[in-house]
Copies of this chain bind each other. A is one copy, B any other.
Amino acid sequence: MNRPAVPAPAEDLPSSPRRAPVQRRSRERVERMLTAAATLIAEGGSDAMRMSDVAEMAGVSIGSLYQYFPDKGAIIRTLAERYNAQGRACIAAALADVRDMDGLREAFAGLIDTYYAMFLAEPVMRDIWSGTQADKALRDIDLADSRANGAVLAEVLARLRPSADPAALATSAFLTMQLGEATVRLAISVDRAEGDALIAAFKRMVLRELCPDEERARGRSRAPDC
């Protein structure tokens, strides 16, 4: 049994998989593991999720779990990265065809609503991002996600306000994305009425920041389906 010097290049599992599944059989098993993990997290949270339970529910042995995920955190990170990729696509789509400040207002307010609704509806995301992350690697995933989204937003802003300093716009856009996440996390951890009020307050604050040229915002906005 001579193992290769480098086990296998990571390709699909973002969290340094111990071994990449190459045959169809193992790819399907990995999917079953992730599905089982998501189900268990939805039921009782990621703390309550035990590796032995994941293995049993997925119909594999503990050993197989550790063939593809170096540790428990890696499963959670993989799920997180999948949800985040979804969110990034959603944000990029919503901001893609923004043409003016009013369009940005509408798109952004809609994005906040969409994110809020997603967190309310998805118990897995809710658990993983609730509070924050016990795991440094998870925080890095979160940061990278916000940076990517912030870059998209910054580009739109730069288009709409060519006179503004690009570096300042980038900082502002990154901060906006992080604070949006923080607000949504806060909103889902209090009762519904207060959560709604907090979301509304954040919208006011952030739209005033994004569009400082025009003084009084008006009008409502709608969420894009996503």
Which residues of A pack against B, CB within 8 Å?
47, 130-136, 138-139, 143, 167-168, 171-172, 174-175, 178-179, 182-183, 186, 189-190, 194, 197-198, 201-202, 204-206, 208-209, 212, 215
**Pairwise interchain contact B178-A182, C-beta atoms closer than 8 A:** yes
User: Of B143, B171, B186, B215, which is within 8 A of A178 by CB?
Assistant: B186
Shortest beta-carbon distance, A176 to chain B, in Å?
8
Residue of B nearest to A173 (CB): B201
Given known pairs A132-B131, A134-B131, the reply for A175 and B202 (CB within 8 Å) is yes
Shortest beta-carbon distance, A140 to chain B, in Å?
9
A135 contact set on B, CB distance < 8 A: 131
A179 contact set on B, CB distance < 8 A: 179, 182-183, 202
A208 contact set on B, CB distance < 8 A: 208-209, 212
User: Of B131, B172, B186, B201, which is within 8 A of A133 by CB?
Assistant: B131
**Pairwise interchain contact B198-A175, C-beta atoms closer than 8 A:** yes
Shortest beta-carbon distance, A48 to chain B, in Å?
12
**Pairwise interchain contact A175-B183, C-beta atoms closer than 8 A:** yes
How far apart are the CA atoms of A209 and B206 in the complex, in Å?
9
Q: Which 9 A-B pairs have the closest CB atoms?
A: A134-B134, A182-B182, A131-B132, A131-B133, A205-B209, A131-B139, A171-B197, A175-B201, A171-B201
**Pairwise interchain contact B201-A134, C-beta atoms closer than 8 A:** no
